[in-house]
Amino acid sequence: MSEAGASAPTLLAVPNVSEGRDDAAIDAIAAAFASGGVGVRLLDVHRDPDHNRSVVTLAGPPGQLAPALAAGARAALARIDLRANDGVHPHVGALDVAPVVFLREEDRGAACAEALLAADLLAREGLPVLLYGLLADGRTRAQIRRGGPAELARRLAAGELRSDFGPPEPHPTGGTTLVAARPPLVAFNVTLAPPATLAQAREIAAAIREGGPAGMPGLRAIGLELERAGQIQVSMNVERPDLTPLREVVAAIAARAPLAAAELVALAPQAAFDGFPPDLAIPGFVPERHLIERALSRGD
């Protein structure tokens, strides 16, 4: 980090792009994100062919993550045609979501300002931007994404939704981008042991997500079938890991079906793993890389 940025708070950005299979495209997009701002560090790239989605984690000072997101958006628009995306993960854009993450409550304002600057820069790339979360009175990604890209285009055309920045209709190949400022969440998936079914995963997700009969605070969950991997998955965002630690999420699923493995997507706060069951494997999980506090302390 430069001398000018040394005293500034560190923010994260976690752009999700709708490409998880073309490694050359993913690498080029990640490199564009990383090179788009002074002092921006690339902490992680998580790619998934079934979701057809990659999640990039960046760290940097205020004023630099927004141009980094715009640079990555240009690379994504050049390499992703949303009309060809058949991933199982809900999506509405080539650069689908671009949240700015604050790690301390006192940095909330800086994150909100950075996210709004990012939204303006993304709009200049021809992308309509819709805000969610803190910047949109709590409106969620799921509410915006309901029905997928075609339904969102219809709602925009009908005036049921309006872009907060940029053109009023989706980009012809890049769709729409969702922008937020938020504290850290945990993107966490659990694979059910065979012979689990998609219906079973959906039933579990409906039971444990916030608002369900056994709902857990801040938990978003859906059931998915991963054809390439041959797996049935409960895919989740734990938006309040302080209230819903991963050990409780795992216990709630295990009470309803045998578990095969878990997966962490991108980075998570170290405290989210307190008391995590040691007998549940998380393939590819490396604490030095995937726990936020440890990743930020690395010198590379």
By annotation, the residues acting in catalysis are 89
CB count within 10 Å of CB 23 equals: 13
Helix 198-208 to helix 246-254 angle, to the nearest 10 degrees? Answer: 130
Contact 265, 184 (CB under 8 A): no
Chain centroid, CA 168 distance in Å: 24
DSSP state of 193: P
Compute CA distances 271 → 37, 104, 240, 300, whole Å. 29, 14, 12, 23
Kindly give, in sequence order, each residue whose CB lies less than 8 Å from that of residue 42, ignoring residues fewer than 6 positions away.
Answer: 30, 31, 33, 34, 56, 57, 58
Element (H, E) at 259: strand 259-265
